[in-house]
């Protein structure tokens, strides 16, 4: 994307930020981000990445818009119910940023496509809603050497960690195995306040923007916990586990696992 009078005005407030400036904005124009999931986290992340001037965005999701999604998945209109989420999100992004390249993948992220897909982008934002896909994203990010902004959200808050392969821990260093289902209910069981997903998803976009613009040093290994009910935010430094099966000194997982293997990983817990 090239500078124009309209772009100068559109991104003028970004450019005024000392840590970003014209050079950082140009890096955003030249960058690309894949967002996995166009749901509660993916919706705000996609919108704010587009608003920041990211040059190319990919969105992958194999689900359709449901009426129960509309309390938090703000990228979708009410008349999009029944439509593929990836297509619905792409329509909204193209309307908002006609000059932006949008790549649509109305399919599941799998062990077979994840690594090659991740390699097509400079960074990945994980907006998925289940642990199997989150661990798949983690493993594919480490294998493809692509930074990943991981997050999960439930009820009034969530957690987030940016994974920078080679420069810090991965998700398995923090949580070696997928939690059992009794210890990790989904939003269909425990509920979710839409604005909480908005806070965490927007923060994910901010992490990607900092990383791609060069406005802040790469900081893998910071586990952020956000509780909007108590208005508490905590940040915990996490060290890389040298024995980690993915990013450790002698990795045993050198390519993403199959869906059945991720399910088995969960079933072995507790």
Domain spans of the chain, in order of start = 5-267
Does the pTM exceed 0.85? yes
Q: Are the CB atoms for 108 and 130 separated by under 8 Å?
A: no
Fold for domain 5-267? Rossmann fold (3.40.50)
User: Residue 269: its pLDDT value, please?
Assistant: 41
User: pLDDT tens, 107-163?
Assistant: 999 999 999 999 999 999 999 989 999 999 999 999 999 999 999 998 999 999 999
Strand ranges in the chain using DSSP code E only, listed in sequence order:
32-36, 56-60, 101-105, 123-126, 148-154, 157-163, 222-227, 232-237
Q: Are the CB atoms for 218 and 60 separated by under 8 Å?
A: no
Confidence class for position 194, pLDDT limits 50, 70, 90: confident
User: pLDDT tens, 206-264?
Assistant: 999 999 999 887 777 899 999 999 999 999 999 999 999 999 999 999 999 887 787 76
User: How many angstroms separate the CA atoms of 134 and 109, rounded?
Assistant: 10
């Amino acid at each position: 994307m090239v500078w124009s009078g309209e772009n100068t005005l559109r991104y003028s407030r970004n450019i005024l930020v000392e840590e970003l400036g014209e050079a950082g904005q140009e890096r955003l124009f030249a960058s690309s981000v894949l967002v996995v999931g166009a749901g509660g986290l993916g919706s705000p992340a996609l919108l704010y990445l587009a608003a920041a001037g990211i040059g190319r965005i990919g969105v992958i999701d194999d689900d359709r818009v449901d009426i129960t999604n509309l309390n938090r998945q703000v990228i979708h209109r009410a008349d999009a119910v029944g439509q593929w989420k990836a297509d619905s999100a792409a329509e909204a992004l193209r309307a908002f940023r006609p000059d932006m390249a949008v790549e649509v993948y109305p399919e599941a992220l799998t062990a077979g496509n994840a690594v090659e897909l991740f390699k097509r982008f400079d960074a990945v934002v994980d907006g998925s809603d289940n642990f199997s896909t989150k661990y798949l994203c983690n493993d594919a990010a480490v294998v493809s050497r692509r930074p990943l902004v991981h997050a999960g959200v439930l009820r009034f808050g969530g957690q987030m960690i940016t994974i920078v392969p080679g420069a810090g821990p991965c998700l398995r260093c923090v949580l070696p195995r997928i939690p059992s289902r009794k210890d990790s209910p989904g939003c269909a069981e425990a509920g979710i306040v839409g604005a909480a997903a908005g806070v965490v998803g927007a923060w994910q976009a901010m992490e990607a923007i900092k990383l791609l613009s060069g406005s802040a040093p790469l900081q893998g290994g910071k586990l952020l916990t956000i509780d909007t009910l108590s208005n508490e935010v905590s940040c915990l430094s996490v060290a890389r586990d040298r024995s980690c099966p993915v990013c450790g000194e002698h990795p045993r997982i050198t390519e993403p696992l199959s869906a059945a293997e991720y399910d088995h990983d969960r079933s072995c817990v507790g």
